[in-house]
Structure 1
Amino acid sequence: MSLLLAIDDAKERPQIVEVGEQGEYLLVLYKPQQVASSVNSIVYRARLVRAEEPEEPGIPVVVKVPFENTRYGRSCLEREIEAGKHYADHPSIVRVYGGKVSKRESYVITEEAKATLKLFLRKGGLLPTRQTIEEFTLSLLDALETVHTDNYLERGPHLHRDVKPDNIFLYRCESGFRFHTKLGDFGMWGSQKEAEEQWERFTIAGTPNYATPDIGETPPSPSSDLYALGLVIYQIVAKTEILPEYPQRMQERDLEPLQKDPLHPILVKALAQRESQRYHSTGEMRRDILQAQSMLKSRNAVYRQQVPLA
């Protein structure tokens, strides 16, 4: 049975499609429930159940289906599925359960998240700085470090190339009061060498607003992903879903309203105009973030000493 037909034909009764290399999973699609859409695709909610235990509740997943099954769209899904298999066990990368890419139909199945960071910001979700550091930044740095130091198929370091709030997913921790953050949507993922070759042909992947200011002069590198992460941190700290009209023109003076935030020095360096002044590795950025975290803990300890408990 075709997955697309299953989505289109599903009524009250569930439709079942075999997925997995050995058909060990069944994808159960109930009455179509669209959970998100973008310029390129639509996302449906579903469940994965094991073939030998079809009555079990299963695993909540989402199925992303492109609006138009174009050659470019198929290429992005192939990258996402390939990256999902490669990073399957990483705690800070969205898990991919499978998918299919063909001229007739294409889709990818991933674990279901509570929300995207973009939706969280749109609804006014505000985080104190310490939680920003712990739940978001360090988790995303773990994911990017794995990607940047990866020599997959001996092709050298890799890049995500599309770090932005839309591709950052929130999962509620077991305690129920905190979020775990994961990086997803690896449709632009590829080796740094491939990105450099595309850049030489004037082909630049990713979202323009999150591209580096000197993208016309400097080829993509790990620093490019870290610049985009800097913009994401800016959005969290500034409590805004919307970037300035020309984010690449942001100067240090534009960050002055955030001067009291411990992350301010990190934003200044991450969003510097020239590549030579920005972060070049996740380790470098993590060091400064841990220092900011330590400073914040010390500040909180002093505050608790000054304010006696009732």
Structure 2
Amino acid sequence: MIDSGEVFAGYTVERLLGQGGMGSVYLARHPRFSRQTALKLLNPNLYTDNEVRARFEREADLAAQLDHPSIVTVYDRGSENGQLWIAMQYIDGVDAATVNPMTLPPERAVQIIEGVADALDYAHGMGVLHRDVKPANIMLARSSVGQGERVFLTDFGIARLREDSTHLTQTGMFTATLAYASPEQMTGGHLDPRTDQYALACALYWLLAGVGPFDADNPADIIHGHLQLALPPLAVRRRGLNPALDAVLAAGMAKRPEHRYNTCAEFAAAAKHALTTTSGPRLPTPPPGAVRGNPVVPPQHPGAYPAPAQQFPPAAPVYPASPQPGGPYAGAPHPAAPP
């Protein structure tokens, strides 16, 4: 822990913002520009691994080259006292994981995803995959005079570092949050921009339904759902949503990447259209020779993932379709998502 007022890597620490599995985040002030910065200190055990340290430097430098209004800017990185650190843009707001879907209008949920989709497509055009898209890595900046709420995507490169630090990539495993991980991540398959699209679709499902698409207490059941089960319809979670959203989400979360949308923006546009359409959803064009549908992808080790007792998790309490008094968000302020 670093105390308030202490100087670390030249930055004056003001207070702790949050802690996570990878380390801690502090609000700090730049020594020369006097701007507030989110200073992420990664756990010391990562510093002792030369391969992870080299990966961190490459990924942080790559993330620093991303220049997009919806991507949290990386200012600098380095090591100090046996710890790796990243200085990033400080976002005064909350992360999307603190949003209460019970009071979040579906239109706003899709608007959030639209902002993230544009950021992802830009990063993909730069040759960068995120690999860990989830509500906790989506920041919602507070409104300022004359501006609406802004959406930011954070933690580019951290997902790869998290993988390397566990030494599990050789077995095809991963450490991205299970609720948002694609089948190809789970089976050690090839990753491309449609991997991030799958996670983005999972995030939209959560923003609409309040739970992940294959919510379960047992991680093996979550894995089984991603690999083999059809997407549970939103109606079992929340009434009042256009059924066309189910088809769009299912396409964005197709088991095979080639059955998903071409881009994240195309998926987000289809989701926006599905909110009110009466003529049917906009679905991706199947690749040549493919049969439309969502084929089952078997696990690499048959029998490794036991089937849950039922295909869909028990229905949660029905959420109202319109916002409730008190605003769309719930939860304490969370200015920066811990790594």
1:207 is aligned to 176
- CA shift, 1:15, in A, is 4.1
- CA shift, 1:167, in A, is 1.5
- CA shift, 1:16, in A, is 4.5
| 3-state DSSP of counterpart to 1:97 | strand
2:263 is aligned to 281
Of 4, 15, 34, 2:16 maps to 34
1:212-231 matches, cutoff 5 A: 212-214=182-184, 215-216=186-187, 218-231=189-202
1:306 is aligned to none
Counterpart check, 1:45 vs 2:45? no
Of 188, 193, 210, 1:239 maps to 210
- CA shift, 1:43, in A, is 1.1
| 3-state DSSP of counterpart to 1:279 | coil
Unmatched runs of 5 consecutive residues or more in structure 1: 1-6, 20-26, 52-57, 151-156, 297-310
Counterpart check, 1:272 vs 2:254? yes
1:183 is aligned to 153
| Structure 1 residues 231 and 86: CA distance shift in structure 2, 3 A | same
Counterpart check, 1:118 vs 2:94? no
- CA shift, 1:141, in A, is 0.6
TM-score for both structures, normalised by structure 1: 0.69
| 3-state DSSP of counterpart to 1:43 | strand
Contact in 2 for aligned 1:169/1:181 (Cα 8 Å):
yes
| 3-state DSSP of counterpart to 2:144 | coil
- CA shift, 1:40, in A, is 1.6
| Structure richer in helix, relative to its length | 1
Of 44, 55, 72, 1:68 maps to 44
2:65 is aligned to 86
Contact in 2 for aligned 1:255/1:268 (Cα 8 Å):
no
| 3-state DSSP of counterpart to 1:36 | strand
2:299 is aligned to none
| Structure 1 residues 217 and 83: CA distance shift in structure 2, 3 A | closer
| Structure 1 residues 203 and 252: CA distance shift in structure 2, 3 A | closer
Unmatched runs of 5 consecutive residues or more in structure 2: 217-221, 279-339
1:163 is aligned to 133
| Structure 1 residues 69 and 101: CA distance shift in structure 2, 3 A | farther
Amino acid at match of 1:220: L
- CA shift, 1:294, in A, is 6.7
Contact in 2 for aligned 1:79/1:188 (Cα 8 Å):
no
Q: Distance in 2 between matches of 1:202 and 1:60?
A: 41
Q: Distance in 2 between matches of 1:106 and 1:265?
A: 43
Contact in 1 for aligned 2:205/2:212 (Cα 8 Å):
no
Amino acid at match of 1:234: Y
- CA shift, 1:253, in A, is 4.2
Amino acid at match of 1:223: R
Could you tell which deviates more after superposition, 37-46 or 206-215? 206-215
| 3-state DSSP of counterpart to 1:158 | coil
Could you tell which deviates more after superposition, 58-67 or 160-169? 58-67
1:215-263 C-alpha deviation (Å, 9 max, x unpaired)? 4274212111111111100110012479602151552444343574243
| Structure 1 residues 16 and 42: CA distance shift in structure 2, 3 A | closer
Amino acid at match of 1:158: V
| Structure 1 residues 234 and 15: CA distance shift in structure 2, 3 A | same
Write out the 4+ residue segments of structure 1 that deviate beyond 6 Å after TM superposition.
Answer: none
Q: Distance in 2 between matches of 1:187 and 1:200?
A: 15
Number of residue pairs aligned between Structure 1 and Structure 2: 256
> Percent sequence identity over matched residues?
23
Contact in 2 for aligned 1:81/1:99 (Cα 8 Å):
yes
Higher normalized contact order (CA 8 Å, seq sep 6+, divided by chain length):
2
Could you tell which deviates more after superposition, 283-292 or 164-173? 283-292
1:307 is aligned to none
Q: Distance in 2 between matches of 1:126 and 1:159?
A: 31
Amino acid at match of 1:109: A
| Structure richer in strand, relative to its length | 1
Contact in 2 for aligned 1:78/1:101 (Cα 8 Å):
no
| 3-state DSSP of counterpart to 1:251 | coil
- CA shift, 1:64, in A, is 1.0
Could you tell which deviates more after superposition, 280-289 or 137-146? 280-289
Q: Distance in 2 between matches of 1:142 and 1:208?
A: 22
